[in-house]
Chains A and B, each alone.
Chain A
Amino acid sequence: MKRKVSFGVLVFPGSNCDRDCFEVIQNVVDQKASYIWHKETQIKNVDVIVIPGGFSYGDYLRCGAMASVSSIMPALKDFALSGGLVLGICNGFQILLETGLLPGAMQRNVSLKFICKDVRLRVEANDSPFSNKYNINDEITIPVAHHDGNYFPPVDGSTASKSRKLFSYIDNPNGSFDDIAGLTNEQGNVLGMMPHPERCSEEVLSGSDGLKIFESLIYYVQNS
Chain B
Amino acid sequence: MSESKEFAPMSADIIEQHGLSKQEYSLIVEKMHRDPNLLELGLFSVMWSEHCSYKNSKNLLKLFPTKHEKILVPAGEENAGIVDIGDDWAVAFKVESHNHPSALEPYQGAATGVGGIIRDIFTMGARPIACMNSLRFGSLEDKHVRFLLKGVVEGIAGYGNCVGVPTVGGEVMFDDSYQTNPLVNVFCLGLLKTDKIARGAASGAGNQVLYVGASTGRDGIHGATFASDDLTEDSQEERSAVQVGDPFMEKLLLEACLEVIQEDLVVGIQDMGAAGLTCAVCETAARGKMGISIDVSKVPQREKGMTPYEIMLSESQERMLLIVEKKYVDRVSEIFQKWDLHVKNIGQVESGDRMRIFENKNLVADVPVQALSDDAPVYTREERKPEYLSKIPLIDREKVNAMVDYGETLKKLLATPNIASKKMIYEQYDHMVQTNTVVRPGSDAAVIRIKNTNKFLAMKLDGQGRYCHADPYEGGKIAVAEAARNVVCAGARPIAGTDCLNFGNPMHEENFWVFHHCVKGLAKACSDLDIPIIGGNVSLYNQNVDGPIFPTPIVGVVGLIDNVQESEVAKRINSQFFQNEGDLILLLGENKNEIGSSEFSENILGEKLSLCPTLDLAVEKKLHEAVLLSSEKGLLNSAHDCSEGGLAVTLAESCMSAESASLGAKIVLPNEEEIPLNIILFGETQSRVVVSCDPSSLADIQDICLKNDTPVTVLGNVEGERLVIEDVLDLSVKELEHFWSDSLERTMNRS
**Residues of chain A at the chain B interface (Cβ within 8 Å):** 13-14, 16-17, 19-20, 23-24, 53-55, 57-60, 113-118, 143, 145, 147, 196, 198-199, 202-206
Contact = CB atoms under 8 A, between A and B. Distances in A.
Interface in B537-578: 566, 569
Given A13-B339, A14-B162, A113-B428, A55 B659 contact: no
Nearest to A53: B433
Contact of B440 (A13, A53, A206): A206
B340 interface: yes
B433 A145 contact: yes
Contacts of B161: 55, 114, 116, 145, 147
A58 B246 contact: yes
B305 to A, nearest CB: 27
A155 to B, nearest CB: 30
Contacts of A147: 161
26 contacts: A14-B248, A14-B252, A17-B164, A20-B433, A20-B434, A23-B451, A53-B433, A55-B248, A55-B251, A58-B247, A58-B248, A59-B162, A114-B154, A114-B157, A114-B158, A116-B430, A143-B432, A145-B161, A199-B432, A199-B433, A202-B435, A204-B438, A205-B432, A205-B435, A206-B438, A206-B659
Contacts of A14: 162, 248, 251-252
Contact of B247 (A24, A55, A114, A204): A55
Interface string B401-428: 0000000000000000000000000111
A54 B432 contact: no
A60 B433 contact: no
A91 to B, nearest CB: 10
A198 B436 CA distance: 11
A115 B425 CA distance: 10
B431 A16 contact: no
Contact of A114 (B339, B340, B430): B430
B429 interface: yes
B734 interface: no
Interface string B481-493: 0000000000000
Nearest to A113: B428
Contacts of B440: 206
Nearest to B564: A204
A180 B80 CA distance: 45
A53 B161 CA distance: 11
B135 interface: no
A8 B471 CA distance: 59
Interface of B: 154, 157-158, 161-164, 246-249, 251-252, 339-340, 426-435, 437-438, 440, 449, 451, 566, 569, 659
Contacts of B163: 16
Contacts of B430: 114, 116, 145
A55 B339 contact: no
Contacts of A113: 154, 427-428
Contacts of B247: 55, 58
Contacts of A143: 432
Which residue, B161, B432, B437, B449, has most C-beta atoms of chain A within 10 A?
B432
Contacts of B431: 116
A14 B163 CA distance: 7
B449 A204 contact: yes
A203 B164 CA distance: 22
Contacts of A16: 162-164, 251, 433
B427 A117 contact: yes
A101 B451 CA distance: 35
Contacts of A196: 432
A13 B248 contact: yes
Given A17-B164, A205-B438, A60 B248 contact: yes
Contacts of B154: 113-114
A55 B254 CA distance: 14
Contacts of A57: 248
B559 to A, nearest CB: 18
A17 B433 contact: yes
Given A13-B340, A54-B164, A58-B246, A19 B434 contact: yes
A114 B428 contact: yes
A203 B573 CA distance: 13
Contacts of B659: 118, 206
Contact of B251 (A13, A23, A60, A117): A13
Nearest to A54: B164
Contacts of A24: 435
Nearest to A201: B435
A199 B251 contact: no
Given A13-B339, A57-B248, A196-B432, A205 B437 contact: yes
Contacts of A204: 438, 449, 566, 569
A115 to B, nearest CB: 6
Contacts of A58: 162, 246-249, 251
A118 B443 CA distance: 16
A113 to B, nearest CB: 5
A116 B427 contact: yes
B179 to A, nearest CB: 25
Given A13-B251, A55-B247, A58-B246, A199 B435 contact: yes
Nearest to B127: A19
